[in-house]
Amino acid sequence: MTKTLALGALTLAAALAFTSLASRPAEAQGTTFTYQGQLNVAGSPANGLHDLVFRLYDAALGGAQVGSTICVDDVTLVDGVFTVQLDFGQQFATTAQRHLEIEVRADTGLGCGDGTGFTVLAPRQQLTAAPMASHANAAFSLDAADGSPASAVFVDNDGKVGVGTTAPATQVHVKGAVPIMILQDTASPSNQAGYVTFWNNASVETAWLGYGTIGSPQLSLVNARTGGDLRLYTGSGGDINFTPGSGGDINLVPAAGGRVGVGTYTPAATLDVRGDIRLGPTGQYFAPSSEENLRIVRGRVSSLGSIVAGAGFTVSRTSAGVFFIDFVPDFPSVPAVTVTVDYTNDGAFVGMTNGLTANTTGIRITTGGGTLSDRTFNFTAIGPR
């Protein structure tokens, strides 16, 4: 790849001069460019073989040399015109000025290893891009083909690449309207396996996102590191929604606070399921959904008024056959309470509630004839949460 640069006249004691002959658009690829000029001796075009030495500096006078020294031996001049290929390496990837210094001698058979007879032309000439290449004078910036937008692709001094931005914040920074990026697999559907892959510094694949199995319709997100988790976060503390289709039914919502909702966007408990539940290897255990959000308190109380089993309540015995159950915490409204009394050999007994409220209920145990008696009993309270 070559670049042609247009230079002004160079003179030495008014006897020698270089003038540019042609220019063409500079291209950002490669570092070689074509230098064309005309050498005049005493006002007349020079002919024959000449040796030329080129050096690149960062200032018009003094300064530091950048890049290598280029000597071109036995250049043929016809009517003063010559063309050479110059490559100083990548010395144009910044906005710093570059000035070309040229030495010349008529060929005497000496090679480039012998510097005898060279004349330095003055002044040095600043290298500037030809008009058609004014936006490609540095390889770190590429415009769109029609010139707009400018700096469509940009590489900064740290090697970060920006597409649509001249201030890349990461190694590759793509900025633009939706869609930002398209990855297109051109294989047939049965052979498509395109994915984005992540490697570590040992060139080992550690994770990937995409169609990892050839022809699979499944989109995979895989963490291949030993012991590595697959974690999803929301930086704002919001929920994560798993919903099939576009605007489909609610499937699963892991929410803030460790709550999980199935069939609801706003789980109110650690597990909030809106709908029927089936359990077991064949779904043989079936819990149908309820119209109410219910809480159940169950307990077994001894004849002396102590708790044998259950939780969420306290109990007290005030007299023979008279007990009081306090719910902890209270129900929002009055629950439904059932009481059963253990059967004994001395007859059947009846358990009944008395003074039922949202926070307590009295329980009376009597014989079949209505006499209060201490007996072990069971109760179940079901009410709203």
Q: What is the pLDDT of residue 300?
A: 98
pLDDT in tens, 114-129: 999 999 988 998 987 6
Residue ranges of the chain with per-residue pLDDT less than 50:
1-28, 131-139
pLDDT one-digit tens code per residue, 191-214: 877 788 889 999 998 988 887 678
**Would you say 267 and 358 are in contact if contact means Cβ atoms under 8 Å apart?**
no
User: What's the chain's length in residues?
Assistant: 385
Fold of 294-384: Immunoglobulin-like (2.60.40)
260: enclosing H helix or E strand: strand 260-262
Distance (Å, rounded) from C-alpha 374 to C-alpha 366?
A: 8
Which residue bears the tokens 């996102």?
A: 209
Q: What confidence score (pLDDT) does residue 9 get?
A: 38
Per-residue DSSP letter, 30: -
Asked whether this chain's domains 10-133 and 294-384 adopt the same fold, the reply is: yes
Indicate the pairing of strand 322-327 with strand 360-367.
antiparallel
Kindly report the average pLDDT of the chain as a whole number: 84
Peptide bond into 335 cis (omega under 30): no
pLDDT value of residue 30: 66
| Per-residue pLDDT tens digits for 321-374 | 999 999 999 999 999 999 999 888 877 899 999 999 999 999 999 998 899 999
CB 211 within 8 A of CB 220: yes
What was the pLDDT predicted at 147?
A: 75
Q: What pLDDT score was predicted for residue 358? A: 97
Q: Which stretch of DSSP H or E encloses residue 234?
A: none
Q: For the chain, give every domain's residue range.
A: 10-133, 232-289, 294-384
Give the side-chain half-sphere CA count within 13 A for 74. Answer: 3
Per CATH, the architecture of 10-133 is what? Answer: Sandwich (2.60)
